[in-house]
Chain A
Amino acid sequence: EAGVTQSPTHLIKTRGQQATLRCSPISGHTSVYWYQQALGLGLQFLLWYDEGEERNRGNFPPRFSGRQFPNYSSELNVNALELEDSALYLCASSLFVGYRSYEQYFGPGTRLTVT
Chain B
Amino acid sequence: AQKITQTQPGMFVQEKEAVTLDCTYDTSDPSYGLFWYKQPSSGEMIFLIYQGSYDQQNATEGRYSLNFQKARKSANLVISASQLGDSAMYFCAMRLIQGAQKLVFGQGTRLTINP
The residue that A45 contacts in the complex, of B37, B42, B104, with Cβ under 8 A, is B104
Q: Is the CB of A101 within 8 A of B95?
A: yes
Interface of B is mostly: loop
The closest CB in chain A to the CB of B42 belongs to: A108
- Given A99-B98, A101-B95, A103-B35, the answer on whether A45 and B103 have CB atoms closer than 8 Å is yes
Chain A, 31-78, CB within 8 A of any chain B CB? 31, 33, 35, 42-43, 45, 48, 55-56, 58
- Complex contact B98–A56 (CB within 8 A): no
Known: A33-B101, A45-B102, A101-B95. Contact between A92 and B45, CB under 8 A?
A: yes
Interface size of A by CB at 8 A reads 26
Partner of B102, one of A33, A105, A108: A33
Report if A22 contacts B (CB, 8 A).
no
Residue of B nearest to A40 (CB): B107
B91 at the interface (CB under 8 A from A): yes
Q: Which of A84-115 contact B (CB under 8 A)?
A: 88, 90, 92, 94, 96, 99-101, 103-109, 111
Say what secondary structure dominates the interface of chain A.
Answer: strand
Would you list which residues of chain B between 61 and 115 have a CB under 8 Å from chain A?
A: 91, 93, 95, 97-98, 100-108
The chain A residue with its CB closest to the CB of B105 is A43
Q: Chain B nearest CB: distance from A11 CB in Å?
A: 14
* Chain A residues within CB distance 8 Å of chain B: 31, 33, 35, 42-43, 45, 48, 55-56, 58, 88, 90, 92, 94, 96, 99-101, 103-109, 111
Binding site for A on B (CB under 8 A): 35, 37, 42-47, 50, 91, 93, 95, 97-98, 100-108
Known: A42-B107, A48-B101. 9 other contacts (CB 8 A): A43-B93, A45-B103, A48-B102, A56-B102, A100-B97, A104-B35, A104-B103, A108-B42, A109-B44
The contact sample of 7 A-B pairs, CB cut-off 8 A, is: A42-B108, A43-B91, A56-B100, A58-B102, A90-B43, A104-B103, A109-B43
